[in-house]
Amino acid sequence: MDKKVFLIKSDTDYAMRILVHLALSDGDEPIPAGVLVEKQGVPVDFAYKILQKLCKAKILKSYKGVSGGFVLAKDPEQISLLDVIDAIQGRVVIRPCLLVDSNCASAKPCPVSLKLQQLQETLDTEMQGITLAKIIQIKRNNC
């Protein structure tokens, strides 16, 4: 069975593309949604929902009017992959117990539950450590 489940969904991928584009853009001028859609190949139906969620999470600022558009609300060092995942798709959570058993209580978790909790903590820490600034640095070095 080759079925795979991606932890990072396509709308989060699109959000990261948009954020990278904004971070690499020259100046502090807002970039219209249409430009972001075109340059990053984000489907229009996804783009507006993504932009809305990023604004609600205070990752982006939006400006209305003729010269309106979107800018980063924070420095790239302050925007983590975990922040974007939380804003767009919700937290990736590893099931804390694999047993449907009353013996597996959170007050006294079994060894498997302890390992799963450690895995969750590691996942959260690693995703928090992947910042937009680091992604931009990698992109600049590889392109």
Residue 119 sits in a domain whose CATH number is 1.10.10.10
The dihedrals phi and psi of 95, each to the nearest 5 degrees, come to -55, 125
Asked whether residue 3 is assigned to any structural domain, the reply reads no
DSSP category for residue 142: H
DSSP category for residue 24: H
How many whole angstroms separate alpha carbon 3 and alpha carbon 90? 22
Identity of residue 101 = D
Grouping H, G, I as helix, E, B as strand and the rest as coil, residue 131 is: strand
Asked whether residue 4 is assigned to any structural domain, the reply reads no
How high is the pLDDT of residue 45? 84
- Give mean pLDDT, residues 83-97: 90
Asked whether residue 24 is assigned to any structural domain, the reply reads yes
- In this model, does residue 85 exceed pLDDT 60? yes
- In this model, does residue 103 exceed pLDDT 60? no
- Give mean pLDDT, residues 72-86: 97
Domain that holds residue 115: 10-142
How high is the pLDDT of residue 3? 87
- In this model, does residue 143 exceed pLDDT 60? yes
The number of distinct structural domains making up the chain is 1
- In this model, does residue 131 exceed pLDDT 60? yes
Nearest to 41 by CA among 30, 50, 28, 52: 50
DSSP code per residue over 35-69 = HHHHHHT--HHHHHHHHHHHHHTTSEEEE-STT-E
The neighbouring-strand residues paired with 69 are: 63
